[in-house]
Amino acid sequence: MVSTINKIQILEKYISRNQSVNNIISSTITKLLERETKRMQDLFHSLKFQLKSFEKQYLMNSKDFVKEFEKGNLGDDIDFIEWSATFDMFINAKKSLEILNGK
């Protein structure tokens, strides 16, 4: 089975040899990127909403929470573990959006 990375490498090689890339390929790539950007935006906003809920509940912003949690100052309550994981996913979604937006 060919991995996604290998498929991209094959496509890249094909495009570099055939400068007049078919409009269908170009259109398909554009649609895939748009779809993935939309998916990441939806995830980002959902995670942001979850973070705001934790912040409201515990009267602390997420960045301060993570610092204290990582120092071990807050214990290992299930909410704190979930909050930490949500923050990590939020940061990863943000980085993915930056890549998808060409930054």
Residue 9, helix vs strand vs coil: helix
Structure tokens at 1: 């089975």
Domains of the chain, residue spans: 4-100
| Rounded distance between C-alpha atoms, residue 93 and residue 99, angstroms | 10
pLDDT the model gives residue 35: 97
The predicted-structure confidence for 32-67, as pLDDT tens digits, reads as follows: 999 999 999 999 999 999 999 999 999 999 999 999
| Per-residue pLDDT reduced to its tens digit, 16-37 | 887 677 778 888 889 999 999 9
Per-residue pLDDT, 25: 84
Q: What is the pLDDT of residue 42?
A: 98
* Rounded CA separation 90/17 (Å): 39
Residue 32 to residue 57: CA distance in whole angstroms: 38
